[in-house]
Amino acid sequence: MSLAIRNLNKSFGGIMASSDVNLDIEENETHAIVGPNGSGKTTLIAQLSGIIVPDSGTIHFNGVDITRAPSHRHAHIGLARSFQITSVIMPMTLVENVMMAAQSVSGHSFRFWRPISLERDLRERAMQYLEDVGLKDVSGSEARAVSHGQRRQLEIAMALALNPRLLLLDEPMAGMGKRESGRIVELLAGLKGKMTMVLVEHDMDAVFALADTASVLVDGSIIATGPAAEVRANPEVQRAYLGDLHA
Amino acid sequence: MDWQLLISQLLNGLQLGMLLFLLAAGLTLIFGIMDFINLSHGSFYMIGAFVCATLVERTGSLIASVVIAVVIVFGVGLLVERFVARKLYAHDHLDQVLVTFGLILIFDTLAHLIWGAAGMTIPLPAWLNGQIDIAGVIIPGYRVLIISAGLAVVVGLFFLVTRSRLGMLIRAGASNRTMVTALGVNIDRLYLVVFALGAALAGFAGMLIAPITEASIGMGNEIIIVAFVVVIVGGIGSIKGAFVSAILIGFIDTLGRSYLDDLLSLFLATRYAETAAPALSAMTIYILMASVLAFRPQGLFPPASSMR
Amino acid sequence: MKPSAPRRVSWGVYGTLFLFLLAAPPVLVWADQPFYMDLLTRVLILSIAASSLNLILGYGGMISLGHAAFVGLGAYSVAIPSYYGIYSGYLHLGIAIAACVLFALVTGAICLRTRGVYFIMITLAFAQMLYFTFVSLEEYGADDGLLIYQRSEFSGLLNLENPGVLYYLAMGVLAGCLGLMNRLIHSRFGRVIVGIRHNEPRMQSLGYNTYRYKLACYAISGAMAGISGFLLGNFTYFISPEMMDWTRSGELIFMVVLGGTGVLLAPVAGTAVFLLLEEILSAFTVYWHLLFGGFLIAIVLFGRGGLHGLVEKLERRNHSR
Ligand SMILES: Nc1ncnc2c1ncn2[C@@H]1O[C@H](COP(=O)(O)OP(=O)(O)OP(=O)(O)O)[C@@H](O)[C@H]1O
Ligand SMILES: [Mg+2]
């Protein structure tokens, strides 16, 4: 078992953003979380990545309780995420952004003397990830100078550079052009089976092309979970969510 | 135990608490609502004292002078908001720190130009200069006036904040700025009024203290730091927090200064106690601040929604 | 628009400044101008303090309004041992660094948990705490401060009583600090600090315990400011709590911003211009603070990027012609 979530609850004032969420995700499985806007998907990801502390319940990752672990611990035990609202280091170049991630998981950073420019391997690894997400040509541009879609791609490269065993992706394709999102789907398809992935996504075609299993979140509760095809066919799901979307 | 001393120290603590509250009330609202750090808030304290001293000199009436001076400081607050502070809300905190630091230099020098390098005293009318004797404990009348005036403002402010439309906007603004904008309120005017109100309160505090200490250049620059501590301990944006922590800090500071050496000499040789006590009492309120922050990083009364 | 070309020209400006500072003492001694010699020494010493502030403020984005406390601690580390007849410079320097690192770690541990306005006010409050502590220490002169009758001794190695020696020592220390900072900024540690400044939550989710990095940076900066205080105490033969007053910290911030935040050498220029302006304006009128305050406000509202930004803009204009 890669991820085990038990009785998770989180409320904001009166809003139940997570309501008794139970979920198990197997090692190397790709799990999709779908649900209407405001249903609590991002809040769930935030709890898994240590940014929000749940009101009650537990989260275990590979048997380790990470419910209250600070967010900086996660990267080091193999848990990385991308943000729905792009969060990169704007005045740094794309390659510097990815290097920042690679640096984090290759030894400590209380090194004060040796210039980072001498650490060739960091740069090479960063360039590799940039190439994977299709950003090689703009690797020297500052993050604030590239397009929104390209920053979305950068998000993914940074998450990958942490070399995770569990990758949390919060709407990775949102805001990308058709060609880029196609490329990312391809990239993720290539990663499938090599690491556990939790994918929050509105693009149903992408979701069901990638996911092994899926859960549907409505008002903070999981109303259905199981193999992707079954979840898709579930009438309650069709009514509560998929129906609305395609209406 | 010397009861006379204890009671008079308690009153001193209360008095300091009131002054701190008057300073901190405006500061905390300006922080909370405008997210604006105003180092020059202490200048209003000084301006209040000088303007009032001048008016007393001219008119001879303390009450009338205070009323007019409060209006004048309110006006100065309006001007500072309109022509300086407003330009800075969108800037980062560093810019706000620098500009308001520049304002201090300007206000201090202007005071020097207008009122001269020496301070100004405010003579008390005879009816305030007396002593009140309550069951054998003698209390200076003016102390009682400061405390009652402070309390009156506290009560007035609480009514303003909890009962009026302006107060509703202030409370909403301190906890959630976007909501106030969404309500379609004229934000510029709200900020203007809050800023000037804060200035007037600080000015009033300066007027209250001037008869005891005299009005002098830079008089606000030290007490304002303590007012910052009050704001941090109380929780940014919270009037209630400012009040509770102002009184708390007023007491702790005053009592620390007068009783810490006795307390220490229980543990230490008198010689050491006498050296350590003043240093330690200078630190007490900061130690209090540090301990509050260790357990409640947002202060004692954080504003309802802690989005910021 | 490539920034690299103008930046290289700016090195020319700073190089000239360096040569000027290097050549100044013999010329000033020959011309018998001890006043200017003193002024330049002060520029060098305070440049160290301003540069150390630049490390946390310019690179790390931590707006400390209590930096003068470290300078004061450094100077008291000379004054207090001397008061007991201990003149060893090594010891003074050691105490200065140790005291500043300790103060930085203890206060930093608390204030770095907070951010924004809280951070500014708490650094301010802790510095003020130190100020009042020294004010209340009767033994060490309280308000009036302590005289330092004799400069720190570096047995046989350096004679600080000679103004030229002190000058070149200050210059060497400044160069050393700047060199160290330059390495630091381009190291792993420095990248993390800059990353935190721009997006702390992201750095956390990348796996950095940002608190520890900031605390380490704060302590390094504090130690550097302490060394500057050590030199300042020696230079002025005097220290009083006034040196720790929060308005002093405000002035340090002004020096950094005047030069240009986050640019290695800019605070040196900022300090030089600040002290020069102070000399000129204060000779001109007792009300010079009025002009000074106005200047400060103008810099913030109209002169973003400080002197460094200004030079860069001018050079860029020349280039495009
Ligand atoms: N920090 C917060 N404070 C208050 N309410 C919040 C906070 N974060 C989320 N919420 C609320 O919790 C609910 C769930 O939000 P969440 O962002 O998790 O939804 P989501 O499923 O990711 O939506 P979307 O598809 O729009 O990204 C929403 O009603 C939202 O308004
Ligand atoms: Mg979301």
CA distance C227 to C222: 9
More reliable by pLDDT, C32 or B174: C32
Per-residue confidence at B174, pLDDT binned at 50, 70, 90?
A: low
Residue B294 has pLDDT above 70, yes or no: yes
**Domain that includes residue A120, residue range:** 87-163
Nearest CA in chain A to C179: A113
Whether C205 sits inside 8 A of A49 (CB atoms) is: yes
* Per-residue pLDDT, B128: 78
* Per-residue pLDDT, A169: 93
Residue C267 has pLDDT above 80, yes or no: yes
3-state secondary structure of C187: strand
Residue B146 has pLDDT above 60, yes or no: yes
* Per-residue pLDDT, C5: 41
* Per-residue pLDDT, C3: 39
Residue B306 has pLDDT above 50, yes or no: no
**A179 within domain boundaries:** no
The pLDDT tens digits for A207-225 are: 888 999 999 998 999 998 9
* Per-residue pLDDT, C231: 96
* Per-residue pLDDT, A246: 46
Q: Which of A43, A168, A217, A241 for a ligand 1 pocket mutation test, highest count of atoms within 8 Å of Cβ?
A: A43
Ligand 1: which residue has its CA nearest to atom 2?
A12
Residue C4 has pLDDT above 80, yes or no: no
Q: Which atom of ligand 1 is nearest to the CA of A46?
A: 18
The pLDDT tens digits for C161-185 are: 888 899 999 999 999 999 999 999 9
Question: B294 to chain C: which residues are within 8 Å by CB?
Answer: 110
Question: C135 to chain B: which residues are within 8 Å by CB?
Answer: 282
* Per-residue pLDDT, C9: 52
Q: Count other Cβ atoms within 10 Å, centred on residue B193.
A: 17
Give the lowest-confidence range in A136-140, A192-196, B11-15, B282-286. Answer: B282-286
What's the whole-number mean pLDDT along residues C5-15?
62
Nearest Cα neighbor of B256 from B276, B233, B234 is B276
Residue B235 has pLDDT above 50, yes or no: yes
The pLDDT tens digits for C17-42 are: 888 888 888 888 888 888 888 999 99
B210 CA → ligand 1 middle, Å: 53
B134 sits in which H/E element: strand B131-134
* Per-residue pLDDT, B276: 76
The pLDDT tens digits for C294-316 are: 988 988 888 777 888 887 778 77
CB burial of residue A92 (10 Å; 0-12, 13-18, 19+): buried
What's the whole-number mean pLDDT along residues B159-176?
78
Residue B305 has pLDDT above 50, yes or no: no
* Per-residue pLDDT, C202: 94
What's the whole-number mean pLDDT along residues B118-125?
86
Per-residue confidence at C7, pLDDT binned at 50, 70, 90?
A: low
Residue A30 has pLDDT above 90, yes or no: yes
Per-residue confidence at C6, pLDDT binned at 50, 70, 90?
A: very low
Residue B259 has pLDDT above 90, yes or no: no
Whether C289 has its CB under 8 Å from any CB of chain B: the answer is yes
**A115 within domain boundaries:** yes
- DSSP class per residue in chain A: --EEEEEEEEEETTEEEEEEEEEEE-TT-EEEEE--TTSSHHHHHHHHTTSS--SEEEEEETTEE-TT--HHHHHHTTEEEE-SS----TTSBHHHHHHHHHHHTSS-S---SSBGGG-HHHHHHHHHHHHHHT-GGGTTSBGGGS-HHHHHHHHHHHHHHT--SEEEEESTTTT--HHHHHHHHHHHHHHBTTBEEEEE-S-HHHHHHH-SEEEEEETTEEEEEEEHHHHHH-HHHIIIIIHHHH-
* Per-residue pLDDT, B307: 36
A11 CA → ligand 1 middle, Å: 10
Whether B293 sits inside 8 A of C114 (CB atoms) is: yes
Residue C254 has pLDDT above 50, yes or no: yes
Question: B282 to chain C: which residues are within 8 Å by CB?
Answer: 129, 132-133, 135-136
The pLDDT tens digits for B60-110 are: 888 899 999 999 999 999 999 999 999 898 888 999 999 999 999 999 999
**A149 within domain boundaries:** yes
Q: Which of A21, A42, A47 for a ligand 1 pocket mutation test, highest count of atoms within 8 Å of Cβ?
A: A42
Residue C101 has pLDDT above 90, yes or no: yes
Residue B267 has pLDDT above 90, yes or no: no
What's chain A's length in residues?
Answer: 247
Nearest CA in chain B to C255: B98
Q: In this structure, which amino acid lies at residue A188?
A: L
> Could you tell me the domains of chain B?
8-125+139-295 (1.10.3470)
**A12 within domain boundaries:** no
Contacts of A147 (CB under 8 A, 6+ apart): none
Beta bridge partners of A15: A12
What's the whole-number mean pLDDT along residues B108-113?
94
Model-level pTM? 0.91
**Per the structure, how many domains does chain A have?**
1
Do A173 and A184 form a contact (C-beta atoms < 8 A)?
yes
A44 CA → ligand 2 middle, Å: 9
Do C232 and C74 form a contact (C-beta atoms < 8 A)?
yes
**CB under 6 Å to ligand 1: residues?**
A 12, 15, 17, 35, 37-43, 84
Cα–Cα–Cα angle for C243, C245, C248, rounded to 5 degrees = 70
Per-residue confidence at A242, pLDDT binned at 50, 70, 90?
A: low
A58 CA → ligand 2 middle, Å: 21
Q: Which of A8, A34, A41 for a ligand 1 pocket mutation test, highest count of atoms within 8 Å of Cβ?
A: A41
